[in-house]
Amino acid sequence: MAEAVLILSIVVATLRAATPLLLAGLGELVAERSGVLNLGVEGMMLMGAAAGFAVRALSGSAALGLLAAILAGIAMAALFALLTLRLLANQVATGLALTIFGIGLSALTGLPWAGVPAPGLAATIWPGLAHAPPALQQVLLLDPLVWIAFAGVFAVDWFLRRSRAGLALRAVGESAEVAHALGTSVLRIRLAAVLFGGAMAGLAGADLSLAYTPMWAENMTAGRGWIALALVVFATWKPWRLAAGALLFGFVTIAQFQAEAFGLSLSPDLLSTLPYLATIVVLVLISRDATRLRLAAPAALGKPFRPTD
Calpha distance 196→224 (Å, rounded): 18
Residue 306 is assigned to a structural domain of this protein: no
- Give residue 309's pLDDT: 60
Residue 17 · residue 246 · CB < 8 Å: no
Residue 93 · residue 39 · CB < 8 Å: no
Residue 230 is assigned to a structural domain of this protein: yes
Calpha distance 276→308 (Å, rounded): 43
Q: CA nearest 197: which of 76, 90, 301?
A: 76
Count of structural domains within the chain: 1
| Secondary structure of residue 222 in the 3-state scheme | coil
Calpha distance 33→237 (Å, rounded): 7
Amino acid occupying residue 201:
A
In angstroms, the first-to-last Cα distance of the chain is 69
Residue 64 · residue 55 · CB < 8 Å: yes
Give start and end residues of each alpha helix (H) in the chain.
2-33, 41-59, 62-81, 91-109, 121-125, 134-140, 144-162, 164-174, 176-181, 186-206, 224-234, 239-258, 268-272, 274-287, 290-296
Residue 13 is assigned to a structural domain of this protein: yes
Residue 26 makes CB contacts below 8 A (sequence gap 6+) with 149, 152, 153, 156, 200, 239, 242
The reported pTM is 0.92
Q: What is the dihedral of CA 25, 29, 35, 41, to 10 degrees?
A: -10
DSSP conformation class of 215: S
- Give residue 65's pLDDT: 95
Residue 309 is assigned to a structural domain of this protein: no
Residue 177 · residue 183 · CB < 8 Å: no
Residue 252 is assigned to a structural domain of this protein: yes
Helices (H) and strands (E) in the chain, counts: 15, 0
Residue 4 makes CB contacts below 8 A (sequence gap 6+) with 135
Domain range holding 212? 2-296
Calpha distance 154→173 (Å, rounded): 21
Calpha distance 30→239 (Å, rounded): 9
Q: Is 237 left (phi over 0), alpha (psi -120 to 50) or beta?
A: left
The torsion angles phi and psi of 307, rounded to 5 degrees, stand at -60, 140
- Output the domain CATH number for residue 24: 1.10.3470.10
Q: Is 112 exposed, middle or buried (0-12, 13-18, 19+ CB in 10 A)?
A: exposed
CB 300: neighbour CB atoms within 10 A? Answer: 22
Residue 305 is assigned to a structural domain of this protein: no
Residue 303 is assigned to a structural domain of this protein: no
Task: Report the alpha-carbon angle 125-126-128, nearest 5.
Answer: 150
Calpha distance 53→59 (Å, rounded): 10
In tens digits, the chain (309 residues) has pLDDT values of 667 777 888 889 899 999 999 999 999 999 999 999 999 999 999 999 999 999 999 998 999 999 999 999 999 999 999 999 999 999 999 999 999 999 999 999 899 988 788 888 887 777 777 677 777 777 888 889 999 999 999 999 999 999 999 999 999 999 999 999 988 999 999 999 999 999 999 999 999 999 998 999 999 998 999 999 999 998 989 999 999 989 988 888 887 666 655 556 666 666 677 777 777 777 777 667 666 667 678 999 999 998 766
